[in-house]
Structure 1
Amino acid sequence: MKIGEISRRSSVPVETIRYYEKIGLLPKPDRDASGYRAYRNMHLDRLLFIKRCRNLDMAQDEIRELIRLSENPEADCHEVDALLARHLDHVRDRLKELANLENTLQQLQKACSDAGTVQECGILGGLSSELEDLHDKPSDHENHVPGTHRPGKS
């Protein structure tokens, strides 16, 4: 199948498929006589696996590790379990961060319960003081896979 067909069947954009090939998550397919990529069912299966992992917010390094582990089907699955446990810890940490974010946003929203001018807006004033507070605090956020889930990273 050509890249357009595997894209349709997997609901993964063509650009993303090419990117996964480039970074080694998806094996490069052979080319047919006219030079087009010729994907097989194994490519579709791998692409759907990657998609499911991404839907679980797994980082590329985690997916790469799961793929590596899956290539040895007779091995003990404790490494897979350990990887999932680390990811679950990361998800729980993110949930705590999101709960804190929700509380902060609720407090900011309460700061502007009265109609007034933008100059008097408690939300904008609160955001300005929040930014000052952030500069004074070191970040204690640790990622579950080094180099992933950082602002500005894909």
Structure 2
Amino acid sequence: MTSLISQRLAEHGIVLPEPAAPVAAYVPTVLAGGLLHISGQLPFEDGVLMTGRLGEDRDIDFGHRAARACAIMLLAQASKALGGLDHVRRIVKLGVFINSAAHFTDQPKVANGASELMELIFGEAGKHARSAVGVPVLPLGAVVEVDAIVAVQEG
């Protein structure tokens, strides 16, 4: 039997990638008190890290795609940690960090790439609290990084 979440992923042509390994001294996920905390994920498109700075050498559409790619990697990490996505009860919060020039102020439009994907896949349970923050640089020159807190059904 195919789960509703798997069905939604398939309907939208989303194949979860192999979760990225940590690039430093941390773990990708921590499950505590019914919440899965997922470390910041970087955006990959066709296996290549999406780099650059919004308002400098990248536009909103590129940033939106990158945030969506980060959200897909968040789902991959959650699926690995939980043995699938059927235990996800709600996306609680996303933290979206956007590598952006000082004059760039459309961080919320970029962050929508991740937020819209969560609602698309989880419906009402995908609606979440969020931060969308402009930063001067991200690891490896990434254009966007997104972390998450997810409520899970344990047991």
| Structure that is richer in helix per residue | 1
Q: Calculate the TM-score normalised by the size of structure 1.
A: 0.23
| Structure that is richer in strand per residue | 2
Q: Calculate the TM-score normalised by the size of structure 2.
A: 0.23
Q: RCO (CA 8 Å, sep 6+): is it higher in 1 or 2?
A: 2
Computing the radius of gyration from Cα coordinates, the structure with the larger value is 1
